[in-house]
Structure 1
């Protein structure tokens, strides 16, 4: 209960917070705005609850949304009154000196409280107490004295029985079906044979039980506070991981844009060179045809002119020269075999690269939420089994009598690998793997299960699988193409066991840096 000292310090705030209905903001009273307490311990005035539930038998608390069940549709009698609000209202009335007299019908405000009559009394009733011998011994407290007390004056008086108004309820029935204060007459008549104790004993026991239950709830409140702190920390880690991954994703996309732009510039430059070279070739052929055509036309015109002059001697003298020139032109190749119509096309490697790139785009920047396995794990990462490295396609071979190696033949810790010494972005590179057995003796047969994958070193997703060629002599070629600038990792597994030193670092330069 709120103390009188705190009540005097912030009386107006006290009035608004405890004595008014949170829905209609009207002061609680003893009639239509009587404070009703729900099972969730939230209080509202009876008028607001009646309008809220209408004719329903159940409704949700307007504050906490907990379901409230009524004994009958629209019947609020099963909801108890909030005695705390009644006591606080009594404090408020005492402070305002607006408590009506409960001993007479004059309508005067009370000036004292009679503990024996258990009611507030006005000045006329006080004078009556002083005149009558039977009332003169009653214990009266003035309003000023009541303000200094911490307890409600009504709480110090024993409540009287509704069935027997002259008797106070001094006993408590502990039977599970009863659980209520009773007067001696009710105890003798209606509660005969029940487990009865004095009300002071029941109050002490009930207070201990309520304090114990409240202590457990307070402990749960502390746990909830820790849980809320954990949620806040998770939110902060989520936001930090989101920003980091967004920055990393932006860098990855920008790097891909730069790589594609660079490759497109190289492709356009190559296309221009091919076009210019082919154009020069065709222009050269055209000039050769024009020249040969001019030479033939000139020779034919000279021949026609010589025949039309009718100088027989001169014609015969020059006929040998004319014939020789005509035969030379006649035997000159016409270049028709060299004239080939060419068009731009793409190679099968381009089609394969487009398919691989399209398949890789499905995994690029494909993130999901998962629980980090360590303090250094990324909050955003892909589960280990979401993007597994598929086994490389096995090369079909005709059966032979040669012995194939088994898993026990190859020692992955002693096998060696030779990487491409000059890798750069977009370059098709090769790595040569040489297998040996546990005695470090070269294996001369194929058949080992070699798997490889390449990924950007800063990426958290699984790498892209690389094709492996079995040369059937104990050596294997891994084909890989660095797609991103900077550090890349080439992971190599031999018979499902990581090769010693794997993943191997592949420092990919740009094509321009590679030639500097």
Structure 2
């Protein structure tokens, strides 16, 4: 062998375990039961393990890479080649450890030298015999130490000898399609006469170049696979980052909703408590007035009955006018029945609408999907044959397009959201229209006025507060920039938090029938909110508008 691994850089046990043992049974390879067999995928296992593994099958999967292996005959491993690399490594390992048996005698002693003329290992007794016998005295001997220092394996020299003519080396190679084997000069002259013969060195050099060229192409593909694996790791990292960001965002949104609900609960309880106390106080005052009037009437009746029951006619006649006057006064006093109406707490229609909007928002809160990230920072790997897609990105699904929410003023359809920010609170619209969503056909729908959304204007509430209703006035104009004197335009609006991926909540719109429309919106979160406005299914220029909501007591 031209080159062998260095045993000084690796412990012998580790070398033996890695190269000279079967990965299934962990037994050392040998020349019989545990002979190393090489599969088409170039993975090696001992014949015993493979025989138990395949049983009587004609095909099986490699225990390492799962590639399918086809046999010529069911359960027959003879068609699989032996792993000559393992055999040579084993021979080199035996030489290094001085455990090669003598091949010249039957004493069973380990060899101490190699005879290049006899082409075999010899023990110390055979070495002494070479020195005594004249016919053997001229043979060339090399000790095991010399063999190790030269880093060559004399057993490979044995393999280069012809089995039919042991004294001759196989220096030629038959290139005929029916042969393709190394031969010695005698075999070439007898069995391969007239065949295409070349020196074995030429064939080895050519074969080595072909194998190394093919291995270079595979190694290039391996480098591409390494890049693909790196891209997969990056995609996994970005997916995890997107997951953590959305998880944090959703957690923050839920916590904010909890905080807002608790705040509204406190406000509602306080309002209900105030209403209850005021009404209770009013009823208590009525009860006191009724008790006082009842006491006065009862006292007057008792006094009258007492006066009539006493036989003092003169005194009775003298006080009768005073008693009658008091009884007439009490008789003419109106009873407080009209002020004692039955009252109860009633949930307004706005509350019902808000509950429906809130339920839709809660449903959309967990409506997630995976989309391909289109950000400039997304990295992708591409090769001549493979296109590796960028990693998926987690987004919150937008509010379902076309869903409706009822209110006291009108029925509002939720428009799709755009992503063009605007920092002006009051701006005149100019520029091109955005893409129009598909309009829905409505039976007997009145004709809509021709509105030029490029020139329409909107006036936002100058002091928006979180949780407080705000107003936005929209004025529609035609293509001549003249106000439209009538209503009927389809004005839609929705409001959402600027940092949220959720769809916006619909906002009520009032048509004043004079070309102006009032949008009522309530910022749910303080900070930047986005108000999206559509007229006749066309987004207003600059929509969504930024609404910076303040927070009370801040």
Normalised to the residue count of structure 2, the TM-score between the two structures is: 0.81
Q: CA deviation at 1:379?
A: 7.0
Q: CA deviation at 1:481?
A: 2.0
| Separation (CA, whole Å) in 1 of partners of 2:468 and 2:177 | 86
- Residue 483 (structure 1) aligns with: 524
Q: Over residues 306-364 of structure 1, what are the superposed CA-to-partner deviations in whole Å (9 max), with x where a residue is unaligned?
A: 11113223322322222222222222222222222222231222122111101110112
| Separation (CA, whole Å) in 2 of partners of 1:173 and 1:345 | 105
Pair 1:150–1:347, CA change in 2 (3 A)? same
Secondary structure (helix, strand or coil) at the match of 2:533 reads strand
Q: CA deviation at 1:167?
A: 7.1
Q: Does 1:414 align with 2:455?
A: yes
Q: CA deviation at 1:433?
A: 0.9
Aligned ranges for residues 428-507 of structure 1 at < 5 Å? 428-507=469-548
Pair 1:498–1:150, CA change in 2 (3 A)? farther
Pair 1:131–1:374, CA change in 2 (3 A)? same
Pair 1:234–1:249, CA change in 2 (3 A)? same
Pair 1:196–1:437, CA change in 2 (3 A)? farther
Task: Give the aligned CA root-mean-square deviation in angstroms.
Answer: 3.4
Pair 1:164–1:146, CA change in 2 (3 A)? closer
- Comparing 112-121 with 283-292, greater Cα deviation is found at 112-121
Pair 1:31–1:158, CA change in 2 (3 A)? closer
* 1:405 aligned to which of 449, 456, 476: 449
- Residue 155 (structure 1) aligns with: 156
Pair 1:190–1:389, CA change in 2 (3 A)? farther
Aligned ranges for residues 28-427 of structure 1 at < 5 Å? 28-126=29-127, 140-157=141-158, 159=160, 171-172=172-173, 174=175, 179-181=180-182, 197-364=198-365, 366-375=367-376, 380-382=393-395, 387-390=399-402, 393=411, 404-406=448-450, 409-410=451-452, 412-427=453-468
Q: CA deviation at 1:90?
A: 0.9
Q: Over residues 72-122 of structure 1, what are the superposed CA-to-partner deviations in whole Å (9 max), with x where a residue is unaligned?
A: 343322222111111111111111111112233332222333445443233
Q: CA deviation at 1:169?
A: 5.1
Asked if the contact 1:367/1:380 (under 8 Å) is kept, the reply is no
| Separation (CA, whole Å) in 2 of partners of 1:294 and 1:177 | 135
Pair 1:153–1:287, CA change in 2 (3 A)? same
- Comparing 244-253 with 176-185, greater Cα deviation is found at 176-185
Asked if the contact 1:173/1:181 (under 8 Å) is kept, the reply is yes
Pair 1:52–1:306, CA change in 2 (3 A)? same
Q: CA deviation at 1:397?
A: 11
Pair 1:188–1:483, CA change in 2 (3 A)? farther
| Separation (CA, whole Å) in 2 of partners of 1:431 and 1:374 | 34
Q: Over residues 151-189 of structure 1, what are the superposed CA-to-partner deviations in whole Å (9 max), with x where a residue is unaligned?
A: 432334554566787876555455667655466788799
Unmatched segments (≥5 aa) in structure 2: 379-390, 405-410, 414-441
Q: CA deviation at 1:282?
A: 1.3
Asked if the contact 2:114/2:122 (under 8 Å) is kept, the reply is yes
Q: Per chain length, whose mean CA-contact separation is higher, i.e. which structure has more relative contact order (CA < 8 Å, sep 6+)?
A: 2
Q: CA deviation at 1:245?
A: 2.6
Normalised to the residue count of structure 1, the TM-score between the two structures is: 0.86
Q: CA deviation at 1:146?
A: 1.7
Secondary structure (helix, strand or coil) at the match of 1:369 reads strand
Secondary structure (helix, strand or coil) at the match of 1:363 reads helix
Pair 1:151–1:448, CA change in 2 (3 A)? farther
Pair 1:193–1:284, CA change in 2 (3 A)? farther
